[in-house]
Amino acid sequence: MLNFTLKIWRQPQSEQPGQFITYPMHGVSPGWSLLEMLDELNEKLMQAGQEPVVFDSDCREGICGSCGLLVNGIPHGQVGVTTCQVYLRRFQNGQTLTLEPLPGFPVVRDLMVDRSAFDRIMAQGGYISVNVGSAPEANTIPIPPKTATQAFDAATCIGCGACVAACPNGSAALFVGAKITHLSLLPQGQPEAGQRVRAMTAQMDAEGLGHCSNHGECAAICPQNIPLTVIARLRRQYWQSWW
Ligand code: FES
């Protein structure tokens, strides 16, 4: 069994100041996930009549992207996985774990942040609205396997926000690039490609998210391994959309 010292950011509301509170955790299983340790802490806090720590999670299988916090300064706490897939055995017994909300997004409460900026960006063009008719027989639309693979790889973006949190500029270029790539590489998404890239980029700017300056931190931390090439495609499509 393991012991940890948790330093957790507690903030009652977005407009109120927050602070780190220290909680000792004794005798936790190495097989628990980080979020299961927070569940255990919350049980103890509620039994003591205190407010539980607020954090986001849903599927707890690395699929939905709703979990996300900073663990010792690293988005999700580990490269290549979501917070719900981080297990305590990867930390050292006796280690101090500092848990903070993901930077780049407004804090709602404690470790929960507001990622609705991503929803507003998606509402500007993260879909196909042209009438493509009923589903055709798959082989009647020939798509090279490499193109299909690139589109499907980009479609695995779960919108967790780790890219924004890791970027020194707070840029969402990897997220937007993934959506642009996934939609525009396939025939059904091409008629609206120019309009889509301009509208989604404009909304990204309106949300106050930063610009990409090729640091590459976003792709390095992305739990879905979305490559930096999606940002290159985003830029290329953006400029082509004005010609
Ligand atoms: S809770 Fe769904 S990805 Fe972590």
pLDDT profile of the chain (243 residues), mean per 10:
96 94 96 97 97 96 94 94 96 96 96 97 92 77 89 95 96 97 92 95 95 94 96 95 86
| Residues near ligand 1 (Cβ within 6 A) | 57-60, 62-67, 82-84
Residue from 55, 64, 115 whose mutation best tests the ligand 1 pocket (most atoms within 8 A of CB): 64
Among 66, 82, 113, the domain boundary falls at: 113
Atom 3 of ligand 1: nearest residue by CA position: 62
Q: Are residues 131 and 201 in the same domain?
A: yes
pLDDT attached to residue 55: 97
Amino acid identity at 106: P
pLDDT value at residue 32: 96
203: CATH: 1.10.1060.10
Helical packing angle, 116-123 and 173-184, nearest 10°: 30
> How many independent structural domains does the chain possess?
2
Are 45 and 78 found together in one domain? yes
Confidence (pLDDT) at 138: 72
Number of the ligand 1 atom closest to the C-alpha atom of 65: 3
What is the SS3 string spanning 21-42? EEEEEEEECCCCEHHHHHHHHH
Q: How far apart are CA 162 and CA 171, in angstroms?
A: 10
Which domain, by its residues, includes 11?
2-113
Give residue 136's pLDDT.
Answer: 76
| Domain-terminating residue out of 113, 139, 161 | 113
Position 163 scores a pLDDT of 97
